[in-house]
Chain A
């Protein structure tokens, strides 16, 4: 049949099915292929916290959402254009997020009586008119793959398991994507299992062919390339980016790397990646608990390593005392907190930005630490390197805040060469002449890093207050005041060594949207949209939370109103109000969900309307 071709700027697709349906894999393949074609891509996996939830249930639904486009896409999208639903539960759970007149590609084999019951459907939604506001394409994928693979000696179960690649083939055709990238991937993946390789290749191509020939698919959509800088790209999760950032930072500093960590969702993958980097000389300890994780890292830092510990909310709570020790010892250490919904166990797999105040103040005594935050999955790489730079240069622990959204979501990472990355100058003290463990550098106020093994620099350090310069234990009142002030001054001084904050849009005026961390994508999309529509608004996104960029006070002073969207009840807002003594507006969401572009847009429009519009 004659197919119509239609051009689109951006598309949001959600692959949804049962936990065992391979949706994460399917989604990853689609996003990588789209990246290969030059689209910008942003993804988010949405899977149950149960490991193997009972098959077919509502809570066992696993999904993978992708937004791709010819413009830059900063989030995984809000409402979907296409929902691929492999069973009844996945339709039921995800339908509310499908756009009106959106496309449903349903595997009708997943809507038998058992599946309908588990999904709590009284009638089959594919057969009544309940989906009349959508473009429903129902295909019995299991029968088709059964026919396609009838010549192979596969069990019915093995045959049925290939249906996700049939669905992928369909969607590849629908958006005019070739199957080559996935074919190459399958050839590597199943190099030792030729039977599965052949089956998956056949089914993938059958899906593509089916869509190209079937009247069920009258339109094919095309999306032009995005304007991306030339270079090599890969999709990357925030957690992998942190792991790569640590290895790269160590190499740039010419230091060996140590990670002390304990498994915790959603930070564990950093430990997984690092533990696989044995070819790169990385040492790691999966410790007996969170405290031992950071403690072993402190030991390694004392011994001269670039040391890190990685965790999420409850783990950060456990590390608090050790963070104070590392702070008063003045040893370099990178503490990565992948923020999740709290308090307590809270929402283990869901994002939040509610650890900012804890990062700022969550230690007994006066114990300020530098805090940096990543704004996207790929930015986790840059901010990890920045955290390492500050840690080594200033001899201090540094907290890197990411969150469950950017940690597990992906966006294209423009892969740098090691040579292109900034140097991290690290050095150990070796000269015994005039050596004192707490004699500070005049500019940075950092103390020397003298490590065991260096002759004639033997010294003792500890958690007790110490005398300025000599480091000898001292409980003296004036000395304590001096040391507290010196340690704080060292951290404040880092403000002179970080980039100034920049403002997009109007450089002064009515409304500044000020964000931090993983909400960047949603805010940026909202800002771009409204600004291109002529709204007089401005946007600034913070990467350094402590110390703040030194021009932030000047920026705030230039705007009548400041809106801080964040996934907490107003933590950055509180910090800014306290420091700059002026009211700040908040957009505060604590639902365990990422911030969405439309939520920012609505809030900004509401604020603009309050002023009578423009």
Chain B
């Protein structure tokens, strides 16, 4: 049944397909702290937008509350800055209503995994076709420095002056466990990998989750330095590349091998192992994705970066469309008068 909304959906782009990142830049000052990881994420997002060939009006950014959630204000597309933790259900409503839109969510470790944790697992479970960027800075920044669900045990924060007692979530493992069909991790300092991950996420049909290690210069400065700084990065991370063996180290001298289901580090230089012994990444293998995610907080293993999983499963919004298309094609569809009359009526003359 045609409604007013179809006129909008069918409106032709009117010079609104951007060709440069600045076409997606809102005319407003960005108010993050100097040195915030958010700047890199914003710049790369705008860059990716300019390559998608999508008119600005077809893109929507939804956010909750927190430093990361200022994001929509900075994008020259449609946007909504909503409630703490609720970006995902709001974005789900937008996407269900309008599968024609490219819907993005900017969230953080507190917003997305603590107050919004329930929504996170359910949006992933439904495979709602959303692109979710989680700025993980392992701290509550906007409220000035309390520990978050990704803060580390022992971390000193304003609300844990004697050290955090909680154990953290690994956002990647959580997303996988909840049924996310695209799961990736990257970090603010590497613009190339940011672009690549955002590009992949935007093209993925279904729930695309990208965790970004985002440095908070004020309240948790250097939290991810080990994994993001040039000097230490190669020794402490391993790049996941589909079809390629897991090699890492300053001189590409180490690799990851599976011992049963357990990943272990092996040397490629002491003669004991060769590249052929190494685990080869397959981003379509969900079992492997879990094993790789489980490396996250293991101090003896490098931290995986890149695409953990990319699989296909019908998205919820698409299933809704298919269901409606079927039922609206049946006899009696859209006959409201008949619906109102129901099956058990009588006439008074």
A interface list, Cβ under 8 A from B: 32, 35-36, 38, 181, 185, 188, 225, 228-236, 244, 247-248, 250-251, 254-256, 258, 260, 277-281, 283, 285, 287-289, 291-293, 295-305, 307, 321-322, 325, 329, 415-418, 426-428, 430, 451-464, 472-473
B interface list, Cβ under 8 A from A: 1, 3-5, 8-9, 11-16, 26, 28, 55-60, 62, 65, 72-73, 75-83, 86, 88-98, 100-101, 118-119, 121-122, 320, 323-324, 326-328, 330, 332-334, 336-337, 339-349
| Contact assessment for B94 and A281 in the assembled complex, using a CB-CB cutoff below 8 Å | no
Contacts of B323 in A (CB 8 A): 278
**Chain B residue at minimum C-beta to C-beta distance from A460:** B79
Bound-state Cα–Cα, A416 to B72, Å: 45
| Contact assessment for A228 and B5 in the assembled complex, using a CB-CB cutoff below 8 Å | no
Question: A32-B346, A461-B79, A472-B28 are known contacts; what are 7 more A-B pairs with Cβ within 8 Å?
Answer: A244-B340, A287-B89, A428-B4, A430-B11, A452-B94, A452-B98, A453-B8
- Going nearest first, the 10 A-B pairs with the smallest beta carbon separation are A299-B93, A462-B81, A296-B93, A295-B89, A292-B89, A278-B327, A460-B79, A288-B122, A303-B97, A36-B346
Bound-state Cα–Cα, A234 to B342, Å: 8
Most buried by A among B5, B13, B60, B95: B5
| Contact assessment for B26 and A305 in the assembled complex, using a CB-CB cutoff below 8 Å | no
Bound-state Cα–Cα, A418 to B338, Å: 10
Partner of A283, one of B16, B58, B60, B97: B97
| Contact assessment for A295 and B344 in the assembled complex, using a CB-CB cutoff below 8 Å | no
| Contact assessment for B86 and A451 in the assembled complex, using a CB-CB cutoff below 8 Å | no
Bound-state Cα–Cα, A254 to B4, Å: 6
| Contact assessment for A247 and B328 in the assembled complex, using a CB-CB cutoff below 8 Å | no
User: How far apart are B259's CB and chain A's nearest CB, in angstroms?
Assistant: 39
Contacts of B3 in A (CB 8 A): 250, 254-256, 281
Bound-state Cα–Cα, A457 to B348, Å: 52
Bound-state Cα–Cα, A281 to B333, Å: 8
Contacts of B1 in A (CB 8 A): 256, 280-281
| Contact assessment for B76 and A458 in the assembled complex, using a CB-CB cutoff below 8 Å | yes
Contacts of A455 in B (CB 8 A): 11-16, 55-57
Partner of A453, one of B100, B330, B342: B100
Contacts of B78 in A (CB 8 A): 452, 458-460
Bound-state Cα–Cα, A485 to B182, Å: 46
| Contact assessment for B348 and A228 in the assembled complex, using a CB-CB cutoff below 8 Å | yes
| Contact assessment for B86 and A295 in the assembled complex, using a CB-CB cutoff below 8 Å | yes
Bound-state Cα–Cα, A111 to B101, Å: 65
**Chain A residue at minimum C-beta to C-beta distance from B6:** A256
**Chain A residue at minimum C-beta to C-beta distance from B102:** A452
Bound-state Cα–Cα, A297 to B324, Å: 18
Bound-state Cα–Cα, A435 to B80, Å: 18
Given known pairs A278-B324, A428-B8, A455-B16, the reply for A233 and B93 (CB within 8 Å) is: no
Bound-state Cα–Cα, A251 to B60, Å: 26
| Contact assessment for B118 and A288 in the assembled complex, using a CB-CB cutoff below 8 Å | yes
Contacts of B346 in A (CB 8 A): 32, 35-36, 181, 232-234
Contacts of B330 in A (CB 8 A): 279
**Chain B residue at minimum C-beta to C-beta distance from A322:** B83
Contacts of A453 in B (CB 8 A): 8-9, 11, 57-58, 98, 100-101
**Chain B residue at minimum C-beta to C-beta distance from A225:** B348
Contacts of A321 in B (CB 8 A): 83
Given known pairs A292-B89, A303-B98, the reply for A463 and B4 (CB within 8 Å) is: no
29 cross-chain CB contacts under 8 A: A32-B346, A232-B346, A234-B342, A244-B339, A244-B340, A247-B336, A254-B3, A278-B327, A280-B1, A280-B334, A285-B92, A288-B119, A291-B89, A295-B83, A299-B92, A299-B96, A302-B90, A302-B94, A304-B98, A305-B97, A307-B97, A416-B340, A452-B59, A453-B58, A455-B16, A455-B56, A458-B77, A460-B72, A464-B81
Given known pairs A303-B101, A460-B79, A462-B82, the reply for A298 and B90 (CB within 8 Å) is: yes
Contacts of B59 in A (CB 8 A): 452
User: How far apart are B81's CB and chain A's nearest CB, in angstroms?
Assistant: 3
Bound-state Cα–Cα, A454 to B58, Å: 8
Bound-state Cα–Cα, A36 to B349, Å: 11
Bound-state Cα–Cα, A461 to B59, Å: 14
Bound-state Cα–Cα, A233 to B349, Å: 11
| Contact assessment for A258 and B77 in the assembled complex, using a CB-CB cutoff below 8 Å | no
| Contact assessment for A322 and B86 in the assembled complex, using a CB-CB cutoff below 8 Å | yes
Contacts of B337 in A (CB 8 A): 417-418
| Contact assessment for A285 and B8 in the assembled complex, using a CB-CB cutoff below 8 Å | no
State the majority secondary structure of interface residues on B: mixed
Bound-state Cα–Cα, A298 to B97, Å: 11
User: How far apart are B89's CB and chain A's nearest CB, in angstroms?
Assistant: 4
User: How far apart are B343's CB and chain A's nearest CB, in angstroms?
Assistant: 7
| Contact assessment for A232 and B345 in the assembled complex, using a CB-CB cutoff below 8 Å | yes
| Contact assessment for B339 and A458 in the assembled complex, using a CB-CB cutoff below 8 Å | no
Contacts of B320 in A (CB 8 A): 283
User: How far apart are A24's CB and chain B's nearest CB, in angstroms?
Assistant: 14
Contacts of B58 in A (CB 8 A): 452-453
Bound-state Cα–Cα, A292 to B90, Å: 7
Bound-state Cα–Cα, A288 to B320, Å: 17
Partner of B344, one of A32, A307, A427: A32
Bound-state Cα–Cα, A37 to B3, Å: 40
**Chain A residue at minimum C-beta to C-beta distance from B8:** A453
User: How far apart are B334's CB and chain A's nearest CB, in angstroms?
Assistant: 6
Partner of B62, one of A229, A254, A299, A454: A299
| Contact assessment for B5 and A256 in the assembled complex, using a CB-CB cutoff below 8 Å | yes
| Contact assessment for B80 and A302 in the assembled complex, using a CB-CB cutoff below 8 Å | yes
| Contact assessment for A233 and B324 in the assembled complex, using a CB-CB cutoff below 8 Å | no
Contacts of B97 in A (CB 8 A): 256, 258, 283, 299-300, 303-305, 307
Bound-state Cα–Cα, A232 to B57, Å: 47
Contacts of B95 in A (CB 8 A): 299
**Chain B residue at minimum C-beta to C-beta distance from A37:** B346
User: How far apart are A144's CB and chain B's nearest CB, in angstroms?
Assistant: 28
Given known pairs A234-B346, A304-B97, A415-B345, the reply for A427 and B118 (CB within 8 Å) is: no
Given known pairs A299-B90, A428-B8, the reply for A231 and B28 (CB within 8 Å) is: no
| Contact assessment for B344 and A298 in the assembled complex, using a CB-CB cutoff below 8 Å | no
| Contact assessment for A427 and B16 in the assembled complex, using a CB-CB cutoff below 8 Å | no
Contacts of B340 in A (CB 8 A): 244, 248, 415-418
**Chain A residue at minimum C-beta to C-beta distance from B345:** A234
**Chain A residue at minimum C-beta to C-beta distance from B317:** A283
Contacts of A288 in B (CB 8 A): 89, 118-119, 121-122
Bound-state Cα–Cα, A610 to B131, Å: 70
Bound-state Cα–Cα, A464 to B92, Å: 21
Contacts of B88 in A (CB 8 A): 292
**Chain B residue at minimum C-beta to C-beta distance from A28:** B344
Bound-state Cα–Cα, A33 to B123, Å: 47
Partner of B328, one of A236, A278, A300, A457: A278
| Contact assessment for B83 and A325 in the assembled complex, using a CB-CB cutoff below 8 Å | yes
Partner of B90, one of A38, A251, A296: A296
| Contact assessment for B73 and A299 in the assembled complex, using a CB-CB cutoff below 8 Å | no
Bound-state Cα–Cα, A299 to B59, Å: 14
Contacts of A428 in B (CB 8 A): 4-5, 8
**Chain B residue at minimum C-beta to C-beta distance from A33:** B346
| Contact assessment for A281 and B348 in the assembled complex, using a CB-CB cutoff below 8 Å | no
Bound-state Cα–Cα, A454 to B91, Å: 18
| Contact assessment for B14 and A456 in the assembled complex, using a CB-CB cutoff below 8 Å | yes
Bound-state Cα–Cα, A301 to B96, Å: 11
| Contact assessment for A305 and B5 in the assembled complex, using a CB-CB cutoff below 8 Å | yes
**Chain A residue at minimum C-beta to C-beta distance from B98:** A303
User: How far apart are B153's CB and chain A's nearest CB, in angstroms?
Assistant: 29
Bound-state Cα–Cα, A209 to B162, Å: 85
| Contact assessment for B339 and A188 in the assembled complex, using a CB-CB cutoff below 8 Å | no
| Contact assessment for B336 and A251 in the assembled complex, using a CB-CB cutoff below 8 Å | yes
Bound-state Cα–Cα, A230 to B5, Å: 37
User: How far apart are A301's CB and chain B's nearest CB, in angstroms?
Assistant: 8
| Contact assessment for A291 and B86 in the assembled complex, using a CB-CB cutoff below 8 Å | yes
